[in-house]
Amino acid sequence: MTDTAGTRTLAHPERAEIRLEDVLQALADPMRLCVVRELAASEVEQACSSFALPVTKSTTTHHFRVLRESGVVRQCYQGTAKMNELRRDDLEALFPGLLDGILAAAAAEESRLRAEG
Amino acid sequence: MTDTAGTRTLAHPERAEIRLEDVLQALADPMRLCVVRELAASEVEQACSSFALPVTKSTTTHHFRVLRESGVVRQCYQGTAKMNELRRDDLEALFPGLLDGILAAAAAEESRLRAEG
């Protein structure tokens, strides 16, 4: 959307509209889980373009839209860049410990698979 | 598969073959999550037919296959009934706390939505 002032807004679910099913679906994709792990490790918002996922631009856009529409990330424009941050507070309020549990599981799996070579 | 003795075996991933992506994908479906919550609450194995999901028989079979192939449940035949049990030990060894975290999130969401009427 572009209004007359040139600002654009992106649709996000309110906290109360976030559903576990959608959050799990969003995190069940390895590429999206990778994005979420990076966002979790980062102190600051990250531009979509900073991730350089090994997929096309339109697929990258799709993945970020799924993350936004599920309530996992909040996106806003800064100039032409779409910036992303994890909705940690919202997820923690709804599902205490869930995000950290999934991040820990992802880290455990990565370590295990690396050890197996 | 049916061998000459009439016993049938079902393919399961070994513990080391279970992937977080597949587990999250399996649990991201409301019907499958419902099955897993019932299995978690049960002390004994449950037949597929005992769930009476509001879907066709072939869809029910599909959901249980996804749960089995992702490593979330173990299935075996008892006569003509396909019995199911959660692979709690395997999941806990790979992803400590993950299953309980997701079950807690599902319970929290159910309470919240019920309270909202």
Instruction: Give the span between the Cα atoms of B101 and B95, in whole angstroms.
Output: 10
Q: Which DSSP symbol is given to B106?
A: H
Residue of B nearest to A23 (CA): B28
> Sorting pLDDT into bands at 50, 70 and 90, what band is B117?
confident
Is the CB of residue B35 less than 8 Å away from at least one CB of chain A? no
Residue of chain A with shortest Cα separation from B107? A95
Confidence of residue A9 (pLDDT cuts 50, 70, 90): confident
Does the structure show a pLDDT above 50 at B2?
no
Q: Looking at residue B7, what is its pLDDT? A: 58
Structure confidence by residue, pLDDT tens digits, B23-42: 999 999 999 999 999 999 99
Helix (H, G, I), strand (E, B) or coil at A91: helix
Residue B3 has pLDDT above 50, yes or no: no
Q: Which residue of B has its CA nearest to A99?
A: B101
| Chain A residues closer than 8 Å to B101 by CB | 95, 97-98, 101-102
Inform me whether the C-beta atom of residue A54 falls under 8 Å from chain B C-beta atoms: no
A103 close contact with B: CB closer than 8 A: no
Interface size A-B, in CB pairs within 8 Å, comes to 73
Question: Residue A87: is its pLDDT beyond 70?
Answer: yes
A28 chain-B contacts, CB cut-off 8 A: 21, 24-25, 28
SS3 breakdown of chain A: % helix, strand, coil, rounded to 5?
55, 10, 30
CA distance B2 to A99: 43
Contact A102 B16 (CB under 8 A): no
- What would the pLDDT profile of B63-113 be if each residue is shown by its tens digit? 999 999 999 999 999 998 999 999 999 999 999 999 999 999 999 999 999
Put simply, whether B53 touches A (Cβ < 8 Å) is: no
Grouping H, G, I as helix, E, B as strand and the rest as coil, residue B8 is coil
Nearest CA in chain B to A107: B95
| Cβ contact, residue pair B98, A101, below 8 Å | yes
CB contacts of B106 in chain A (<8 Å) are 20
Q: Which CATH number applies to B15-106?
A: 1.10.10.10
pLDDT digits (tens, 9 = 90+) for A46-76: 999 898 889 999 999 999 999 999 999 999 9
Q: What is the pLDDT of residues A70-85, one digit of tens each?
A: 999 999 999 989 999 9
Buried b / exposed e across B16-48, counting CB within 10 Å, b at 16+? eebebbbbbbbbbbebbbebbbebeeeeebbeb
pTM of the predicted structure, to 2 decimals:
0.91
The Cα B87–Cα A61 span in angstroms is: 36
User: Is residue A2 pLDDT above 80, yes or no?
Assistant: no
Q: How many CB atoms lie within 10 A of CB B81?
A: 14
pLDDT at A117 (0 to 100): 77
Q: What is the ipTM metric for this complex?
A: 0.89
